[in-house]
């Protein structure tokens, strides 16, 4: 029996379900090559921020307004920008990563609106990105927004406008902060996105009690944080029209196996790469293959989603009944 840990994600073929999530580690080709060597199935590049794109457009506008300057209709905007900018560097990162790697290269944009910048997705595609991940970073703390539906419409608008620009698969990386999370995820999965990354992990503020100022806390996740995406991957398996990618709290091979049992197509890792090094991906792949061998599985498909809410035959395991049972048993 030939055993394989290969998988597909958004229509792309991956040699492993372990994907390097977007972080500072994936912002240079040297690390990306090391990740490929360690056995990562794909890489998600460090995000470019919407604000960087918009700022670059404004700066270019200033240049274009110089006396005597004419902007030809067919001109590529990037013929007119400084090559030292974040935007241009990002396109170079995409291009050089695609040239250096065999594994799929997923570019990433961190955005909060559908204003002005969405054309830039096409530039990323033209540099050879195999897919694009949209990290939509909307905190539900805007008191001017009337209701949740308005917020959800913003997500749909961003996706719709980006999908008009590109033919490569697009995924969306989301936070768990939605009213009726399950229904919202199902609705967003029907917009044409090919993947859904559950979940994004926001910057968490803490206080310095001496200086009375805000400092970052818990920059890296802990394995305990995996419970949230595990639950929601298991609930959404079979209820979304796209692939599911697990993110947050996966620090070892057992975490990878659990997320696949819940229904994940791939598992993204970031914190553990900082804490234990890029080589930890190799250990994750080994553990996955070893566990499959012990349990007689030849492919991921044979066990993917078997512990998901709908496949378990006991959906209450994810709901209130289990909560009541566990808390009654605790003394
Ligand atoms: C230092 C650091 C930088 C990150 N930068 C990005 C980023 O640019 N874009 C993004 O979508 N996620 C970014 N993330 C979030 C990770 O991709 C991931 O979603 C999150 O850390 C949870 O996964 P983990 O538990 O494996 O770390 C970053 C995480 C860390 C720790």
Write the residue with the smallest CA distance to atom 10 of ligand 1.
22
Residue of 19, 22, 284 with the most ligand 1 atoms within 8 Å of its CB, for mutation: 22
- CA of 200 from ligand 1 middle (Å) equals 7
**Burial class of residue 247 in the structure, from the number of CB atoms within 10 Å of its CB (0-12 exposed, 13-18 middle, 19+ buried):** buried
Residue of 47, 138, 201 with the most ligand 1 atoms within 8 Å of its CB, for mutation: 201
Output the DSSP codes for 52-97. Answer: HHHHHHHHHHHHHTSTT----TT--GGGSS-TTSHHHHHHHHHHHH
Domains and CATH numbers, the chain: 7-329 (3.20.20.70)
Residue of 270, 271, 274 with the most ligand 1 atoms within 8 Å of its CB, for mutation: 270
- CA of 201 from ligand 1 middle (Å) equals 7
Question: Which residues have CB under 6 Å of ligand 1?
Answer: 21-24, 46-47, 108, 110, 135, 173, 200-201, 219-221, 247-250, 269-272
- CA of 30 from ligand 1 middle (Å) equals 19
- CA of 25 from ligand 1 middle (Å) equals 9
Strands 48-49 and 105-111, sheet pairing: parallel
Euclidean distance between CA atoms 174 and 110, whole angstroms = 11
pTM of the predicted model, to two decimals? 0.91
Backbone phi, then psi, for 210, in 5-degree steps? -85, -50
pLDDT in tens, the chain (331 residues): 688 999 999 999 999 999 999 999 999 999 999 999 999 999 999 999 888 887 777 777 655 455 554 444 334 444 444 445 688 899 999 999 999 999 999 999 998 888 778 888 999 999 999 999 999 978 888 888 888 899 899 999 999 999 999 999 999 999 999 999 999 999 999 999 999 999 999 888 899 999 999 998 889 999 999 999 999 999 999 999 999 999 999 999 999 999 999 999 999 999 999 999 999 999 999 999 999 999 999 999 999 999 999 898 776 777 765 656 666 666 6
Q: Is 168 within 8 Å of 191 (Cβ atoms)?
A: no
Angle between helices 280-295 and 29-38 (to 10 degrees): 20
Two tokens, residue 303: 């066990």
Euclidean distance between CA atoms 266 and 209, whole angstroms = 40
């Amino acid at each position: 029996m030939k055993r394989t840990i290969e998988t597909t994600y958004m229509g792309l073929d991956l040699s492993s379900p372990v994907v390097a999530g977007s972080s500072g580690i994936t912002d240079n080709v040297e690390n990306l090559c090391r990740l490929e060597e360690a056995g990562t199935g794909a890489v998600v590049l460090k995000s470019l921020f919407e604000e960087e794109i918009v700022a670059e457009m404004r700066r270019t506008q200033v240049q274009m307004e110089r006396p005597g300057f004419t902007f030809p209709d067919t001109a590529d905007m990037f013929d007119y920008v400084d090559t030292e900018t974040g935007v241009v560097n990002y396109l170079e990162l995409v291009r050089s990563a695609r040239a250096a790697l065999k594994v799929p290269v997923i570019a990433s944009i961190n955005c909060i609106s559908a204003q002005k910048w969405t054309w830039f997705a096409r530039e990323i595609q033209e540099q050879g990105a195999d897919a694009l991940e949209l990290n939509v970073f909307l905190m539900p703390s805007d008191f001017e927004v009337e209701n949740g539906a308005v917020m959800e419409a913003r997500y749909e608008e961003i996706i719709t406008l980006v999908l008009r620009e590109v033919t490569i698969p697009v995924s969306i990386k989301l936070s768990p902060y939605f009213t009726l999370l399950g229904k919202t995820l199902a609705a967003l999965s029907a917009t044409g996105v090919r993947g859904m990354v559950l979940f994004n992990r926001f910057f968490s503020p803490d206080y310095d009690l001496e200086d009375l100022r805000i400092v970052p806390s818990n920059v890296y996740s802990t394995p305990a944080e995996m419970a949230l995406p595990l639950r929601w991957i298991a609930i959404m398996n079979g209820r979304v029209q796209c692939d599911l990618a697990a993110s947050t709290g996966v620090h070892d091979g057992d975490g990878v196996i659990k997320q696949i049992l819940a229904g994940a197509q791939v598992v993204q890792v970031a914190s553990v790469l900082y804490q234990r090094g890029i080589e930890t991906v190799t250990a994750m792949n080994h553990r996955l293959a070893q566990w499959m061998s012990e349990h007689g599985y030849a492919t991921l498909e044979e066990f993917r989603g078997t512990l998901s809410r709908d496949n378990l035959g006991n959906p209450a395991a994810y709901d209130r009944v289990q909560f009541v049972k566990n808390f009654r048993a605790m003394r």
